[in-house]
Amino acid sequence: MKLIAYIRVSSQNQVDHGDSLAGQEESINKWATNNGHTIIRKYIDAGSSAYNDNQRPQFNIMLREIDKQDFDCDGVIVYSLSRFSRSIISQAAALSILEKNKIRILSVVEPLPEDYMTYKLLLTIFGVINEMQSKQNSATVCDRLQGTADKGYFTGGTIPYGYESVHVTDESVFRKKLVINEEEAKVVRKIYELATKGNTGKGWGLKKITSYLNDNAILNRGDYWKTSTLHRILHNTIYYGERIYGRKRVERSGKINPPPTIVKSPEIISKETFDNVKRKLKSRDLKNNKDRSIRSNSLLTGIIKCGLCNANLVITTGKSGNYKYYTCGNKVRSSVNSCNCKNHPKDKLEEIVKKTLLDNILIESVIIKILNDLKIILRANDTDEKELRKLNLQLKSKQGILSDFYKKLLSNNIEFDETVKMFISSEQNKLNNLKNDIDRITCSKKITYKKFGINQIRSFIKSIRSLIISNNSELTKSFLISLGMEVKVYPKN
């Protein structure tokens, strides 16, 4: 048989040492040789979870290439089925792609029978067991990390700028603790100094500090600074000696999370400096609240984009504070040199957009054409929506039947015989067929509409034109957003 191999490790430690990857690959190669098979391709995900397919790029590429039939193969070989998937749902989705292309899954450590019904049954049982084991492992790891944090040790992840981790010994166990990286700490202190008093006694904003650092080649571990990175530094309590662990963890099992743990860390700045900067930033936020696109009443924020780099244009003010401009968001967040898009006077640009709407879109012939096109689309969507609801109900019912059956099966209440195998195979096929039918239907957003006559159309146009002419930016913006409108601005040439 022609086989493709999928190899995965979830631990970064395993990736760094290479043993698990090499060990799996060696076992797969030996198994294939001993059984007279040929490995034609290999896909390797290093440091990836089998519970979340979004974190397995090579796994997804493999499935796409199989589905596109980019090559001829008979099976996918893994070291163990837990390497293939630890989620019964993602396993079912992946297996449906393999089955559609007449490809079997094979395992080095878990021999699977040739008989199709027994093969499917064992895959399902192994899938349930692997998922339960994954969840148990996750809970155990979380408890251990919480214990590590409670003792004041570093639990892993990205090391905050200004620190580095060092190994320490705790009861013969190697742990990590954060210590100050003095070179980076100098930059952190400079950032807080600029936020407090700039170079003239008046504190700088995030954009100005970002430009200063980037223009002076003071980089963030080899990369350019962004305002979002500085925002995190200026709001992170670790810099005055309190690292918070467990604040973002989400518990999906219904259990109540333990309260966050405050871990003492070496301080780079004083709490007084931190609080002072926080007050200044909050004051600037309140003062510049209207500069934020999501909350802004400005007509085009959140709608208008830079034609050169596709970033959102945001509202900025001139040095005097008297004039407002639409400015490329990349120039605001990173550096004025990051994009060649010019600043556009706010009032002038908004008038151009409004005039375009009034002259080219909000006219009778255009609205009638849009309405007729919409009716054609929605007639087709209505049929699809009804079919989709029906299929989803059937899918939920089938999943419930199989779930209940698997619970009884795993509790040894049902004996394995041909009737059981045939039942599982039949229900699994029905389930796969339902999923394929649901995938086939495009779920469009349901839009309601009424039967408009010419008088209603004219009344609608008149109302919207009056709204735009009235200069009520907030209501006009709501209307433009409801249209899903997007405006792009390009240089004149």
Active-site residues, by number, are 10
Residue 344: other Cβ atoms inside 10 A: 18
Q: Which of 204, 280, 269 is nearest to 241 (CA)?
A: 269
Secondary structure of the chain in HEC code, one letter for each residue: CEEEEEEEECCHHHHHHCHHHHHHHHHHHHHHHHCCCEEEEEEEEECCCCCCHHHCHHHHHHHHHHHCCCCCCCEEEECCHHHHCCCHHHHHHHHHHHHHCCCEEEECCCCCCCCHHHHHHHHHHHHHHHHHHHHHHHHHHHHHHHHHHHCCCCCCCCCCCCEEEEEEEECCEEEEEEEECHHHHHHHHHHHHHHHHCCCCCCCCHHHHHHHHHHCCCCECCECCCHHHHHHHHHCHHHHCEEEECCCCCCCCCCCCCCCEEEECCCCCCHHHHHHHHHHHHHHHHHCHHHCCCCCCCCCCCCEEECCCCCEEEEEECCCCCCEEEEEHHHHHCCHHHCCCCCEEHHHHHHHHHHHHHHHHCCHHHHHHHHHHHHHHHHHHHHHHHHHHHHHHHHHHHHHHHHHHHHHHHCCCCCCCHHHHHHHHHHHHHHHHHHHHHHHCCCCCCCCCCCCCHHHHHHHHHHHHHHHHCCCHHHHHHHHHHCCCCEEECCCC
Q: Are 175 and 144 in contact (CB under 8 A)?
A: no
